[in-house]
Amino acid sequence: MGDPDSEDLDRLEDEEAAKELIVGTDAQGTRLDLWLSGQLGDAVSRSRLQALIRAGAVTRAGSPVTEPKHRVAAGEQYALVVPEAEPAEPLPENLPLEILCEDDALIVVNKPAGLVVHPAPGNWSGTLVNALLYHCGDTLAGIGGVRRPGIVHRLDRDTSGVMVAAKTDQAHRALSEAFADHGRSGDLERAYSALVWDAPDRWAGTVDAPLGRDPRSRTLRAVVPEGRADARHAVTHYQVQKRYGSDGKGGALAALIECRLETGRTHQIRVHMAHIGHPLIGDLDYGRAFRTKVNRLPDAVRPIVAAFGRQALHARLLAFRHPVTGEPMRFEAPPPPDMTALTEALNIL
């Protein structure tokens, strides 16, 4: 569920503590990038600072300031997060892969929950990229960039399901364009299965709400005002597949829903479902306030739901046209055992 223009944002998801800087009276009216450059000296180049500013790494009062030409005022306090230094390139690792399809142009895999897609601070090894480099060898090196070769989209660490990676520059360009378009004018199709708390009143609906950085966290997202500098258009379509149990007020205790993305922002489904009051079961980032709902469940169900250790989200379907032949391709992955067990437990309700 990655944002096609979020490579710099990805690099900020596991950072060190922010540098807190206060504007002195002598800096009144100075450009933000120039002022920061003067504060940091040779620690960070000006071009790098400009890239960090545009990526949302500089905040004032919790809100990103994304224009390098922004003029600072005396007394203002800014926070800057500088990512840790990165290794030159990821290394191949012999990690297991469940391959659904592979040819000279691409590889389709069923990613397990717990597997990070590409290296980042705190996760330089043991990622899907490391595994693909080992499996594909030299054919993958450099395709789409050194840090995440072959990757055209991503899933969160704890989201399971179907992913495709490119093995040639031609395939990478074509697939990247398809994912950037999100199927609006092509044949890309993505469907996710999610188990959520309670259930939407309507059997089908659309969440159209822009996403940006959560001011309380450097790693999380939130629904933000449309005019905010970091706001990104985000649309999720959902359909209720099944409702589980009764809350005694005409509603359900939980529901299985299918989500289809019209955009692909970081954590989009998780934030949008929480925004409408139905966070994913197991999502401690966006559904922490719903943790006590497990206490309403029967004894036979409660421990299974309480022990579910990730957000209940699975990318079950991915369809697209082959980037070389144009042939329609469609891949489905059944839910992994942990989600199957969770669904079976909810069926008791």
Just list the catalytic residues. Answer: 156
DSSP code of residue 216 = T
- Six token digits for residue 49: 């600072």
Q: How far apart are CA 107 and CA 105, in angstroms?
A: 7
CA 124, CA 49: separation in Å to the nearest integer?
23
Residue type at 195 in one-letter notation? L
Structure tokens at 268: 């989009």
**For 252-269, b where at least 16 C-beta lie within 10 A, e where not — what string?**
bbbbbbbbbbbbbbbbbb
Q: Angle 315-196-294 (CA atoms, 0-180°, nearest 5)?
A: 130
Measured between alpha carbons, how far is 67 from 70 in angstroms, rounded to an integer?
Answer: 5
Per DSSP, helices labelled H in the chain are: 7-10, 32-40, 46-54, 128-136, 169-181, 268-275, 302-306, 337-346
8 A C-beta contact, residue 262 and residue 235: yes
On whether the CB atoms of residues 28 and 94 are closer than 8 A, the answer is no
Pairing of strands 189-197, 204-208: unpaired
User: Are 39 and 21 within 8 A, CB to CB?
Assistant: yes
**Residue 323 near residue 228, CB atoms below 8 Å:** no
Of 224, 225, 318, whose CA–CA distance to 267 is shortest?
A: 224
Hey, what are 239's tokens?
Answer: 């359909």
What does the block give as tokens for 192?
């996710």
Beta bridge partners of 108: 101, 164
Residue 149 CA to residue 133 CA, distance in Å, equals 8
